[in-house]
Structure 1
Amino acid sequence: MTVLLTGADGYIGWPTALRIADRSDDRIILVDNFGRRGWVDEIGSTSAVPVCSMDERLGAAKSALGLHNLSFVEGDLTEKAFVDNLLAVHQPDTVVHAAAQPSAPYSQINGECANYTQHNNLQATRNLLWGLEENDLTDAHFIETTTTGVYGAPEFPIPEGGAVMENGKERDEVPFPAMAGSWYHLTKSHDAANMRLAHKQFDIPISDVRTSIVYGTETEETRGENYRLKTRFDFDYYFGTVSHRFAAQAVAGYPVTVYGKGEQRKPFISLEDAVEGLARLALSDHAAPPDDYVVYNQVTRPISIVEAANTIVDVAAEFDYNVAVEHFENPRDEDETHKMEMENSRYMDLIGNQTQFFEGGVRDIFETLSQYKETISSHEDRFLPSVLEERIEPESKVAVN
């Protein structure tokens, strides 16, 4: 069996590769063009955790974990010829597609960034789907990490998959309306529609894993002293998730900046539980791939932004970072009290039980970031968009050891 994993240099992709390789003797072919490193550098930031070269990472996987079934191919998935050759040579039984420009704020910077995001994300997915068809690989299980952001913030419970429409005695399940709120999130809405079409036309088995806000720095495979096994950690306004940005602010002695009331609930999942689900789907082909288009809401619990902020402040105090939550005018057009309800029973059945809760994930984050305070402090101007940065008075910051 052969597993092809795209976006293998990324925050989720790298630890997922290690998990799959550790649980299987399959060949794991990793693919990336190192785009994430370039995008973060472009906006003037960096990963708090140093990211080693792919050669160093693979070397550490062999020496520290005994993994000899990982190999790497560098290339751009938007180039159809590259994708066709990749599929023809390696003949994957499973494709885990985790490659994308993943930042909503980055996609909103200007028209060029919006166009780039949509071209990059959509072209890569289309090339893979058509590549499976044109290379006679339609039995391959195609697994993609999309996003819970495709749902937007509706005022009703979100199903795990489609919505049921009724007309008298007739009823049918239709795709959930694409209510995405950014140019990035719309790429995943379009991806979902394209995957559904590929399943219908080509009969490709599809798992659409709608990933929520992921938090944490460690998985079972990365935990330990070998720094070459670590995954990246972004904390800036564009690529840092809200929980990661809040924790980095605390380490830098910066106020934990909540936009508006912050009472809106968002879906969260730990890195460990996100990796576990993807690995189980990838390895399920040893039994039988899904014969359908299946949607998984990859979320373990909705948490309000202000609750996340307060938890981070409380855990920060355990590490002698004494900061406070401060509320600022929200630069985004959103309901600051929205109470998201999202069905996740299919995903929870997949992973069994949640293995890391938010507070534990936050402790992992502080354990990690305490080693990289200088990196974070030297990039603290990347925490906020400029419209809010100028409103933080110098005295709002506190000294940290």
Structure 2
Amino acid sequence: MTILVTGGDGYIGWPTALRIADRTDERVISVDNYGRRRWVEEIGSQSAVPITTPEERVVAASDQLGITNLSFVRGDLVDRSFVDELLSIHEPETIVHVAAQPSAPYSQINGDRANYTQHNNLQSTRNLLWGLKEHGMTDTHFIETTTTGVYGAPDFPIPEGGATMENEGKRDEVPFPAMAGSWYHLTKSHDAANLRLAHKQFGVPISDVRTAIIYGTETEETRASDALKTRFDFDYYFGTVVHRFCAQAAEGYPLTVYGKGEQRKPFASLEDTVEGLARLALADSADRSDDFAVYNQVTRAISIVEIAETIDSVAAEFDFDTSVEHFENPREEDETHAMEIENDRYMSLIGDQRQTFEEGVRDVLETLARHSDRIESHEDRFVPDVLLSDGTAEANGESDSVPAESD
């Protein structure tokens, strides 16, 4: 048996490949094209955590954890010939597809980046799905991290998968309508539709894992060595609101909440995210909930103001001088939106939540305290407002309390 993990150099992909390899004797192949490193460098930032190359990580996994069944392949999934070669050589029985350009703000910069994001993300997924069909591998379990962003922010509870539609007295379950709010999120809406079609036409067993906004720096395995750390982005484009707030706290800036900040967003820790993907990847077919299943990879919804207040409280443990300040909201949004999202299937998969929000924040702040020089040199990438000489902030709308997803 071989398990393929795409996006294996990424924030989620690397610790996921590491955990899967640690829990099985089967071969685990990590695949990446170094895209995330290029994109973050392009927008003038860097990972707060120094990271080694994928090849060096594989060596460290062997040295530090005794993992000898993990290997790395460099290649671009947009290249159909590479995908064909990858599938024909390794014949994976499971694919965990985490590879994507994951930033909504990056996809919104201009038309070129919007086109790039859509081509990169959609072509990669189609190449893999059609590759399975054309290589006679339609029994391969295909797990993809899409995003809870496909749901938008409706005023009714978000189901775990489809929606019930009623017309002229008749009811049926239909795929949830694409209500995405960025060119990136639409790639995942299209992917979700393509996954459903591949299941219907080819019979490929599908797990559509709709990933929430992820926070944290550590998993059980990455704690073992600095050489095993995953990347951590804190900038406007690839950092989430939690990570940007933590960077502000570490550098002594106020945590800037725009408006009331009572709108809730779906979150999950990196630890809980990796656990769910690993369990799906290692599950026997008889243990999977369905041949086509949607999982809302969410442990809880949290308001922006609660995020800020929690970070402010934990920051005191590290003697960081910060505070929570409210400013006029430069965006038109519902500042009190009480998101409700079902997650029974996902919580049943992972069991109890493995890391609380406060514990995840503590991990982040501890990490940033050790690498303060790396974020201090890039303050213009995460400070969300024009800072005035008196240390207060004036909202300019460049960045706000609505988080950028990063998976």
Shorter-chain TM range is over 0.9
Query: By how many angstroms is 1:142 displaced?
Result: 0.3
Q: Deviations over 1:125-184 (max 9, x none)?
A: 011111110111100000000100100000100000001123456432100011011111
Which residue number in structure 2 is paired with residue 18 of structure 1?
Answer: 18
Distance, in Å, in 2 between the alignment partners of 1:165 and 1:96 is 31
Distance, in Å, in 1 between the alignment partners of 2:335 and 2:180 is 17
Moved >6 Å (runs of 4+)? none
CA contact (8 A) 1:206 1:290 kept: no
Q: What does 1:85-164 align with in structure 2 at a 5 Å threshold?
A: 85-164=85-164
Q: How many residues align?
A: 393
Distance, in Å, in 2 between the alignment partners of 1:108 and 1:15 is 28
Which residue number in structure 1 is paired with residue 385 of structure 2?
Answer: 389
User: Which has the higher mean CA deviation after the structures are superposed, 261-270 or 167-176?
Assistant: 167-176
Identity percentage over the alignment? 72
Which residue number in structure 1 is paired with residue 322 of structure 2?
Answer: 323
Q: Deviations over 1:14-48 (max 9, x none)?
A: 11111101110111011000100000000000000
CA RMSD across the alignment: 1.5
Distance, in Å, in 2 between the alignment partners of 1:114 and 1:333 is 22
CA contact (8 A) 1:253 1:397 kept: no
Q: Deviations over 1:29-75 (max 9, x none)?
A: 11000100000000000000001011210111000000000011100
Distance, in Å, in 1 between the alignment partners of 2:330 and 2:15 is 33
Distance, in Å, in 1 between the alignment partners of 2:325 and 2:52 is 35
Distance, in Å, in 2 between the alignment partners of 1:69 and 1:287 is 25
Query: By how many angstroms is 1:397 displaced?
Result: 6.9
Q: What does 1:47-66 align with in structure 2 at a 5 Å threshold?
A: 47-66=47-66
Distance, in Å, in 2 between the alignment partners of 1:127 and 1:285 is 25
Shift in alpha-carbon separation, 1:217–1:27, aligned structure 2, 3 A? same
SS at match of 2:341: coil
Which residue number in structure 2 is paired with residue 298 of structure 1?
Answer: 297
Q: Deviations over 1:257-310 (max 9, x none)?
A: 223321100011111110000000000036555652210000000000110011
CA contact (8 A) 1:381 1:389 kept: no
For structure 2, which runs of at least 5 residues remain unmatched after alignment?
Answer: 394-407
Shift in alpha-carbon separation, 1:306–1:27, aligned structure 2, 3 A? same
- Which amino acid is the alignment partner of residue 393 of structure 1? L
User: Which has the higher mean CA deviation after the structures are superposed, 201-210 or 170-179?
Assistant: 170-179
- Which amino acid is the alignment partner of residue 140 of structure 1? T
Q: Deviations over 1:71-116 (max 9, x none)?
A: 1110011111111111111100000000000001111111111111
Which residue number in structure 1 is paired with residue 348 of structure 2?
Answer: 349
SS at match of 2:283: helix
Which residue number in structure 2 is paired with residue 36 of structure 1?
Answer: 36
Distance, in Å, in 2 between the alignment partners of 1:41 and 1:229 is 21
For structure 1, which runs of at least 5 residues remain unmatched after alignment?
Answer: none
Distance, in Å, in 2 between the alignment partners of 1:47 and 1:395 is 29
Q: What does 1:145-294 align with in structure 2 at a 5 Å threshold?
A: 145-167=145-167, 170-224=170-224, 226-285=225-284, 287=286, 291-294=290-293
Distance, in Å, in 1 between the alignment partners of 2:353 and 2:287 is 24
Distance, in Å, in 2 between the alignment partners of 1:74 and 1:106 is 23
- Which amino acid is the alignment partner of residue 55 of structure 1? E
Which residue number in structure 2 is paired with residue 3 of structure 1?
Answer: 3
Which residue number in structure 2 is paired with residue 374 of structure 1?
Answer: 373
Distance, in Å, in 1 between the alignment partners of 2:245 and 2:182 is 22
Shift in alpha-carbon separation, 1:273–1:104, aligned structure 2, 3 A? same
SS at match of 1:310: helix
TM-score, normalised to structure 2, is: 0.94
Distance, in Å, in 2 between the alignment partners of 1:13 and 1:303 is 24
Distance, in Å, in 2 between the alignment partners of 1:289 and 1:205 is 10
- Which amino acid is the alignment partner of residue 85 of structure 2? N
Distance, in Å, in 1 between the alignment partners of 2:300 and 2:143 is 22
